[in-house]
Chain A
Amino acid sequence: MALKFPIFLDAQSTTPCDPRVVEAMLPYFTERFGHPASRNHPFGWEAEAACDAARAQIAKLVRARDPKELVFTSGGTESINLALKGVAEMYREKGNHIVTTVIEQRAGLDTCKRLERQGFQVTTVPVQPNGLVDVDDIKKALTDKTILISVMFANNEIGTIQEIAAIGKLAKEKGIIFHTDATQAVGKIPVDVEALGIDLLSCTAHLMYGPKGVGALYVRRKGPRVRLTALIDGGGHERGMRSGTLPVPLCVGFGKAAEISAEVMPEESARLAKLRDKLQDMILSNVEEAYLNGDPERRLPQNLNISFAYVEGESVLMGLNKETALSSGSACTSATLEPSYVIAALGASAELAHSSIRFSLHRFNIEEEVDFVGRRTIEVVKRLREMSPLYELAKEGVDIKSIQWKAE
Chain B
Amino acid sequence: MAYSEKVVDHYNNPRNVGSFSKETAHVGTGLVGAPECGDVMKLQIKVNPGTGLIEDAKFKTFGCGSAIASSSLATEWLKGKTIEDAAKIKNTDIVNELKLPPVKIHCSVLAEDAIKAALADYRTKHGARAEAAVK
B1, B39, B40, B68: the one contacting A333 at CB < 8 Å is: B1
Question: Which of B30-38, B48-56, B82-90 makes up part of the contact surface?
Answer: B30-38
Question: Which of A42-50, A79-87, A348-356 makes up part of the contact surface?
Answer: A348-356
Instruction: Check if A389 sits within 8 Å of B61, measured CB to CB.
Output: yes
For A301-345 the 0/1 string (1 means CB < 8 A from B) is 000000000111011001100000000001011110101000000
Question: Which of A26-34, A109-117, A152-160, A400-408 makes up part of the contact surface?
Answer: A400-408
Query: Closest approach, in angstroms, between the C-beta of A391 and any C-beta of chain B?
Result: 8
Instruction: Check if B63 sits within 8 Å of A408, measured CB to CB.
Output: no
Q: How far is the CA of A408 from the CA of B1 in the complex (A)?
A: 24
Q: How far is the CA of A354 from the CA of B34 in the complex (A)?
A: 11
Q: How far is the CA of A335 from the CA of B14 in the complex (A)?
A: 24
Instruction: Check if B35 sits within 8 Å of A400, measured CB to CB.
Output: yes
Q: Are A389 and B40 CB-contacts (below 8 A) given A315-B63, A333-B1?
A: yes
Q: How far is the CA of A405 from the CA of B36 in the complex (A)?
A: 9
User: Main SS of chain A's interface residues?
Assistant: loop
Interface size on A, residues (CB 8 A): 30
> Which residues from B are CB-within-8-Å of A333?
1, 103
The number of inter-chain residue pairs (CB within 8 angstroms) is: 87
Instruction: Check if B36 sits within 8 Å of A314, measured CB to CB.
Output: no
A315, A400, A407: the one contacting B65 at CB < 8 Å is: A315
A314, A351, A390: the one contacting B64 at CB < 8 Å is: A314
> Which residues from B are CB-within-8-Å of A318?
3, 8, 11, 64-65
Decide if B62 is an interface residue (CB 8 Å cutoff).
yes
> Which residues from A are CB-within-8-Å of B102?
335
Q: Are A405 and B34 CB-contacts (below 8 A) given A318-B11, A335-B103, A388-B62?
A: yes
Q: How far is the CA of A390 from the CA of B42 in the complex (A)?
A: 9
Instruction: Check if A312 sits within 8 Å of B62, measured CB to CB.
Output: yes
Query: Closest approach, in angstroms, between the C-beta of B2 and any C-beta of chain A?
Result: 10
Query: Closest approach, in angstroms, between the C-beta of B75 and any C-beta of chain A?
Result: 12
Instruction: Check if A387 sits within 8 Å of B38, measured CB to CB.
Output: no
A312, A314, A349, A388: the one contacting B60 at CB < 8 Å is: A388
> Which residues from B are CB-within-8-Å of A312?
38-39, 62-64, 67
Interface set, chain A 375-408, CB cutoff 8 A to B: 386-392, 400, 405-408
Given contacts A351-B36, A387-B14, 13 further A-B contacts (CB under 8 A): A312-B67, A314-B64, A315-B64, A315-B65, A315-B68, A337-B106, A339-B36, A354-B35, A388-B62, A389-B31, A389-B61, A389-B62, A405-B36
A interface residue numbers (CB < 8 A to B): 310-312, 314-315, 318-319, 330, 332-335, 337, 339, 349-351, 354, 386-392, 400, 405-408
